[in-house]
Amino acid sequence: MQPNRITKDEYGQSIDRTKLLTFTFDGQKLTGFAGDTVASALLANNVHLIARSIKYHRPRGILSCGVEEPTALIECARPGHKAFPNHKATEVMLSEGLIVKSQNNWPSRNFDAIAALSFGSRLLQAGFYYKTFKWPLWGWPKLYEKVIRKFAGSGRIRFDESADPNESVAMDQRNKFCQILIIGGGPAGLNAALECALQGLRVVIIEQDSEFGGSLLWNKASIDRMSTDSWLANTLDALHQCSNLTMLPNTLAFGHYDHGMLLAYQSFGLDEPGVLWKIRAERILLASGAIERPLVFSNNDRPGIMLASAVRAYLHRYAVRPGHRAVLAITDEKQRQATELELADAGITIAATVNPGEQLIDSTGHRRIRSVAIKTKEGKIVHHSCDLVCVSGGWTPTVHLAAHVHGALELNPDSYTPYAPSQQGCMLAMGANRGIFELEAVLADSENQAKEAMSQIGISVKLGKSVEFQSIQESLEFRISNDRCGSAFVDLQNDVTCSDLIQAVSEGYSDIELLKRYTLTGMGTDQGKTSWVNAVNEIAAVSESPATQLRHTSFRPPYSPVLFAGLAGARTGKFMTPVRKTPLHRVLENLGCVFQHSGDWLYARHFPKQNETMEESVNREVNAVRTSVGFVDMSTLGKFEVKGPGAELFVSRLYCNDVSQMPLGKVRYGLMLREDGIIFDDGTVARLGDEHYLLTATTANADAVWRWITRLAQIQWPNLEVTLTDVSEQWATIAIAGPKSRALLSKFDLSVNTDRLNFPFGTIREGTLPGNQKCRIYAVSYSGEMCFEVNIPAGFGCSFVERLMDVGQEFGITPYGIEALDVLRIEKGHLAVGSEIDGRTTPYDLGLGKMVAKDKDFIGQTLLNRSGLKSEERLQLVGLTAINEKFEIPAGGVVVEQPLSEKSQQRLSGWLTAAVYSPTLKIWVALALLKNGQNRQDDKLWVTSPIAGQSTQVEVCHPCFFDTEGTRLHG
């Protein structure tokens, strides 16, 4: 049933033979066991050809047994669900009914028509696209891109017939805190975890594999005269008893950031959403081990050529025999001997072993390795038939995470193998990450580094003697074959060959970062795990410069691919961002409001009646405000209380206009500048008491203004006796605007005298509503009509509006939204943040120069007086009206001197900040920033929008179109 499965019980510690699982691969029904990965199950079923390579579509099999797998990329799906590509077969755990498909082939993986590309491989070398598809000019968008898109990429998201195309999976994102975080559950990590956990520290250990043990799961040696199996079992037992220790299997640490923060993604297979962990630790111990390097020789990519450690892992962990007749090409003698013994024990015939001085130079076979050619010391070529080649060119420490934050790695001058420094920031490396590979030394080093980490966070431990750096001597001559006659791949995932590197160097790409991008070496999901050291050695050999001078490229997160869904976590759909609702939300909803998202807020946009378009409802709302009375929800405004003996001086310094010596109950418009003299925000300043002011800020800038004023109080003016409180959320604000607003307000039993004499424009009154509830009422206006902004405690907002609608019925009260408010303010020429206050304009630009106080200090005063900010050539606020009343002024248009024809080019004179049809004036009006605008009254210009394909002739006028005397404000 599974022809390559070993039946002996001593093999297969990771699988449960009592749980048989069925799955399909390219439609073929196969079986495996619980605990199998897809890779081990395929090998057990004697399936070696897994996918086709990305560029040449060459047959590719399984190289490794873990995260470093560069070639066995597959598409996986649960029945009835979407299929996702680019899973590594070595990482996906087998589950019942799993649907697995090979990638990158057409029509099938066995007969891939696109593999014909490999015949032209000499033409398709590095830089082929850049050199070939640059002419003719029309060729790229119309032809090349379309054709190349069909072949490019690696896998596609597919839908099973029964899959829901709208299916979405919300992943999870959680935080974890610990004193010691250990990355890697091999011997070094486990030993360090035990050391720290026994001291009572909060420890987290993460392991990307489904099982803890690392190399001990396949490297059957001894520790302290104890078998590695026993040592592992005892250590895990001890760890499981530590309640202060968290063990996270199946967890990939993929990003290391400042101050001990690490991102890790924990997978629960395809059936359950994964968790992205944000782990913050006082110290991080890096025990991520090392990755075995393949050998570079001609045709070194055939299915059946595998890393030696991977073959041993498949034997011991999964009871899978990946071949029956093997050739061994392993640099390290001890490892070679151990592999020979273990393969023989498992019943695999050793066809040949490549000894020091000999070279593996070529292979034959198509969908699987058939034979290899070995060059002997004497220079003789000997061929050996085989179905498995175990290769090992040495070990590359997994140092990506060590390089994410600080970048600097140490390099072995002989082999260019990068090592992590003993400590960088709060990360301490240990074992193989520091170049220590002998098991006993690894354990001693992990103990020392764990104690060092603990002592650094204040735990009293006796430090041991540090373990000396033990670099393995690696023979370059043995690792890379000099006799290459076919494609010798240095990067199996990106199909980068030695020839590509040679060509790139010959074309002058000597910088390692450029070389990487030109050839694609170390890119993609591989991220150089199996390719980088071999590539750099090849480059060094070709460029005849020492590998250490080449440095290394920047390592960046993620170390290995992470699902986008994992990065989003639960922030999907309606939970994408928090939603803020005003205190009036419920009652506005009942009134038929259409809401609009802006930032986090849900604004009342407009209130359409039956069958009304937005334009119709906005015009109706505007007319109601101009002729009768309306109300709008202004609760989103920022509101800040300033109290204390220093309040007056604080407020005076904050605004550029004079707000000092205001009588109690007075409100003034306030203009806040940045330090560079540019307008930051506008709002109102109200004096509620001798040492008590209430400021308002625009909704868009509310948070920024709050941060700014608290910064000023705490840092700039710490000696001013003021306290600041953000009361934005405390008050619901209902602006009642229109000629009948005062009459309507008088219908409420307010403790405030609302007649014109006692409550004129530009004042604020505190009082009570029936029920003795506090209220604050401003007589200010944004719409240009007489207006009262009623502030009441937020919880009463809805019932107040319900009452307002009842009482206002006799006046024809109309709720209006932000769209109508915008029309009203444009008619009146009032400013808006983001439109006229755009981070570039000064008070002079906006016609507010007279407001700027001459005899006081305020923020922005010095830099506002720069001559450049007073130049007449600056853009200045003007009004524009369409000369032909029937013509629309296109929103977003630019202002030019002459109509813009198709081929003419003109200098820009300005641009529109707002344009609307005025239902009051029955014409199109616009606000614009125009060069020297204040001196161009009555000039005739053009507003053009190439996007809308419109040009309209306009006349320059004052930006206030309506009630220029301001009589309506006073009622």
Partner 1 sequence: MAEFLNVEKAVKDTSFDQDGRTILIDENQKFVVQGQFRSPQKLDEFCQSILPKTMEVGGVVILDDTAYLRFSPYAIYVVSDRMMLDDFAKEYQNNFTDLSHGKCMLIIRGNGVFDIFLDYSAADLMNYSGAGQSMVKTRFIDYEVVLWWAANDQIQLLIDRSYAQSFVDFLSSLIVRQNLN
Tokens found for residue 625: 């405000």
CB of 720 to partner 1, least distance (A): 9
Does a cis peptide bond (omega within 30 degrees of 0) precede residue 136? yes
Q: Which is nearer to partner 1, 802 or 888 (CB)?
A: 802
Q: Which is nearer to partner 1, 571 or 711 (CB)?
A: 571
CB of 939 to partner 1, least distance (A): 46
Determine the Cα angle at 253 with ends 247 and 259, to 5°: 100
Provide the β-strand partners of residue 262: 256, 279
What burial class does residue 770 get, using C-beta atoms within 10 Å of its C-beta: 0-12 exposed, 13-18 middle, 19+ buried? exposed
| Residue pair 493/561 in contact by the 8 Å Cβ criterion | no
Pairing of strands 601-606, 388-392: unpaired
Q: Which is nearer to partner 1, 83 or 171 (CB)?
A: 171
CB of 771 to partner 1, least distance (A): 4
Q: For residue 888, give the nearest of 947, 954, 826, 933 by alpha carbon.
A: 954
Binding footprint of partner 1 on the chain (CB under 8 A) = 170, 172-177, 202, 272-273, 280, 570-571, 574-575, 577-583, 586, 600-601, 641, 643-644, 691-692, 721-725, 727-731, 747-749, 769-771, 773, 792-800, 802-803
Tokens found for residue 469: 């750096």
Q: Which is nearer to partner 1, 747 or 856 (CB)?
A: 747
Across 727-831, the runs of DSSP E, i.e. the strands, are 731-737, 763-769, 773-779, 787-793, 814-815
Phi/psi of residue 573, nearest 5 degrees = 55, -130
Q: Which is nearer to partner 1, 34 or 261 (CB)?
A: 261
CB of 790 to partner 1, least distance (A): 12
Tokens found for residue 539: 């480059």
Name the one residue in this structure whose structure tokens are 């506090």: 774
The Cα-based distances of 96 to 7, 36, 82, 270, 317 in angstroms read 22, 11, 16, 11, 20
The SS3 assignment for 262 reads: strand
Tokens found for residue 16: 């449960």
Pairing of strands 427-429, 423-424: antiparallel
What is the rounded CA–CA span in Å between residue 698 and residue 689?
23
Provide the β-strand partners of residue 261: 257, 280
Q: Which is nearer to partner 1, 773 or 871 (CB)?
A: 773
Tokens found for residue 292: 């075995």
Provide the β-strand partners of residue 934: none
Q: How many CB atoms lie within 10 A of CB 233?
A: 13
Which residues in 88-102 are b (16+ Cβ under 10 Å) and which e?
bbbbbbbbeebbbbb
Reduced DSSP (H G I as helix, E B as strand, rest coil) percent helix, strand, coil of the chain, to 5? 25, 30, 45
Angle between helices 187-197 and 228-240 (to 10 degrees): 40
Angle between helices 532-543 and 512-519 (to 10 degrees): 110
CB of 177 to partner 1, least distance (A): 4
Q: Which is nearer to partner 1, 556 or 571 (CB)?
A: 571
Contacts with 632 (C-beta within 8 Å, 6 or more apart), sequence order: 604, 734, 735, 737, 815, 816, 817, 818, 820, 821
CB of 591 to partner 1, least distance (A): 15
Q: Which is nearer to partner 1, 288 or 741 (CB)?
A: 741
CB of 746 to partner 1, least distance (A): 11
Q: Which is nearer to partner 1, 731 or 962 (CB)?
A: 731
CB of 192 to partner 1, least distance (A): 21
Q: Which amino acid is located at 946 in the chain?
A: P
What is the rounded CA–CA span in Å between residue 856 and residue 513?
56
CB of 812 to partner 1, least distance (A): 20
| Residue pair 860/829 in contact by the 8 Å Cβ criterion | no
Q: Which is nearer to partner 1, 52 or 643 (CB)?
A: 643
Q: Which is nearer to partner 1, 56 or 731 (CB)?
A: 731
Rg (CA), the chain: 37
| Residue pair 520/124 in contact by the 8 Å Cβ criterion | no
What burial class does residue 154 get, using C-beta atoms within 10 Å of its C-beta: 0-12 exposed, 13-18 middle, 19+ buried? middle
CB of 576 to partner 1, least distance (A): 10
Q: Which is nearer to partner 1, 3 or 578 (CB)?
A: 578
Which residues in 244-268 are b (16+ Cβ under 10 Å) and which e?
ebbbbebbbbbbbeeebbbbbbbbe
Q: Which is nearer to partner 1, 271 or 755 (CB)?
A: 271
Q: Which is nearer to partner 1, 382 or 579 (CB)?
A: 579
Q: Which is nearer to partner 1, 197 or 837 (CB)?
A: 197
CB of 803 to partner 1, least distance (A): 5
Q: In the chain, how long is the greatest CA-to-CA distance? A: 114
Q: How many CB atoms lie within 10 A of CB 865?
A: 11
Q: Which is nearer to partner 1, 798 or 891 (CB)?
A: 798
CB of 100 to partner 1, least distance (A): 26
CB of 724 to partner 1, least distance (A): 7
CB of 639 to partner 1, least distance (A): 9
CB of 580 to partner 1, least distance (A): 4
- Helix/strand/coil (H, E, C) string of 111-145? CEHHHHHHHHCCCCCCCHHHHHCCCCCCHHHHHHH
Terminal-to-terminal C-alpha distance of the chain: 93
CB of 199 to partner 1, least distance (A): 17
Q: Which is nearer to partner 1, 141 or 771 (CB)?
A: 771
Tokens found for residue 182: 């250990």
CB of 745 to partner 1, least distance (A): 13
Q: Which is nearer to partner 1, 616 or 691 (CB)?
A: 691
CB of 38 to partner 1, least distance (A): 24
Sheet holding 381-385, edge to edge: 359-365, 369-375, 381-385
